[in-house]
């Protein structure tokens, strides 16, 4: 299964994102969607799994949960918006990460793309950075990867250009 992963769109989708995710089976959004119209555009394109973020209004919060824990083949995934980073996890998620860790922990919020193995928690940590136009990030980013059974592979960081530049 090929996954397109984004976060922090804040109500705007880069037009080239649809090209980069054209061969993906699903899109996962790690919060700060921005509005339901953005979620609708994504879900009209590909099946969407998403969580709400701290900037999302009550309509987005009614449509999507704060946390989404699910299985993809043999991989347990936890998708949330505010999660922190390995060694500095948010106190809201910290006890659960160590009690019953997922295979993959995905969060957004920081606008900083980061992928690393957290050996202490025994999981793969992924933050796709920010795919939207608004925010303090310098580059618009997304991640694409594949899951086959228990294997997570072909992970790619997609850089869609400098934020603030004309598209």
Confidence bin at 165 (pLDDT 50/70/90):
low
3-state secondary structure of 165: coil
Mean pLDDT of the chain: 93
Amino acid 24: pLDDT: 98
Say what the pTM is.
0.94
User: Would you say residue 135 has pLDDT above 70?
Assistant: no
Helices (H), 6-79: 17-20, 36-45, 58-63
Cβ-proximal residues to 88 (8 Å cutoff; 6+ apart), any chain = none
Confidence bin at 139 (pLDDT 50/70/90):
confident
């Amino acid at each position: 299964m090929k996954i397109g992963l984004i976060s922090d769109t804040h109500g705007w989708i880069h037009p080239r994102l649809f090209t980069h995710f054209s061969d993906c089976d699903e899109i996962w959004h790690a919060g700060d969607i921005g509005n339901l119209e953005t979620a609708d555009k994504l879900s009209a394109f590909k099946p969407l799994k998403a969580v709400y973020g701290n900037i999302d209004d009550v309509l987005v919060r009614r449509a999507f949960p704060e946390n989404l824990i699910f299985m993809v083949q043999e991989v347990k995934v936890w998708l949330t918006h505010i999660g922190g980073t390995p060694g500095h996890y948010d106190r809201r998620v910290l006890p659960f990460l160590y009690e019953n860790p997922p295979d993959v922990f995905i969060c957004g919020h920081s606008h900083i793309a980061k992928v690393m193995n957290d050996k202490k928690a025994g999981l793969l940590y992924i933050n796709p950075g920010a795919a939207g136009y608004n925010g303090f990030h310098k580059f618009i980013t997304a991640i694409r990867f594949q899951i086959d059974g228990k294997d997570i592979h072909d992970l790619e960081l997609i850089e869609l250009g400098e934020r603030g530049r004309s598209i």
